[in-house]
Amino acid sequence: MADVTQTKPEELFMLLLDVLNEEIILIREEYHEFSHEKLQNEIYQKIPETNKLNYHALIGLSLLKDFSEGNNDTLLFSIENHLYLGRNYIQTIKNSLILINIEINSAKKAKELGNYTLSLDYINKTYLIISENKSLRNINIINDIFLEKADLC
């Protein structure tokens, strides 16, 4: 949360102390969550549209720091969702390539779970990301995408 709000952890803690005491935000081992989905949606709606996508990129990159291949599928899909929504705010080629890798891994995981439609959606997102940024076009990436899509058809 400190990464996203660009606040020192101590300052953020003090700002959130009442919220934590009221259990509006719950601290989990790997992440924080709101105690009620409607509360989360209400707060999200109050964020200016111009900031939302940037926050998604920052949240995705923050979650990515703690991610490893052994983590649960929900975290992988959450990272994918945040990074994809915030893709226009990802400013380095390295992070863009990480996003592509997350998309391909999400496609493979969705296929492994038997959700071929979702897997194809992730592959199509990868195509879109590459079409939006020519510097990301790489024969190995394109080959991976092609093989994944061919396996789904």
Average pLDDT over residues 85-93: 89
pLDDT exceeds 60 at position 14: no
Please state, in angstroms and as integers, the Cα–Cα distance from residue 78 to each residue in 4, 13, 20, 114, following that order: 15, 24, 23, 18
Count Cβ atoms below 10 Å from residue 119 Cβ, excluding itself. Answer: 22
Q: How confident is the model at residue 81 (pLDDT cuts 50, 70, 90)?
A: very high
How confident is the model over 134-147, as pLDDT tens digits?
Answer: 888 888 888 888 88
Give the per-residue pLDDT at 72. Answer: 78
Unique residue bearing structure tokens 């929900």: 74
Whether 64 and 83 have beta carbons less than 8 Å apart is answered as: yes
What SS3 state is found at 113? Answer: coil
How confident is the model over 28-74, as pLDDT tens digits?
Answer: 555 555 555 666 666 677 778 878 888 888 888 888 887 776 667 88
**Burial code of 41-68, b = ≥16 C-beta within 10 A, e = fewer?**
eeeeeeeeeeeeebbbbbbbbbbbeebe
Give the per-residue pLDDT at 55. Answer: 84
Q: How confident is the model at residue 123 (pLDDT cuts 50, 70, 90)?
A: very high
Task: Indicate the burial class of 38 (C-beta count within 10 angstroms; 0-12, 13-18, 19 or more).
Answer: exposed
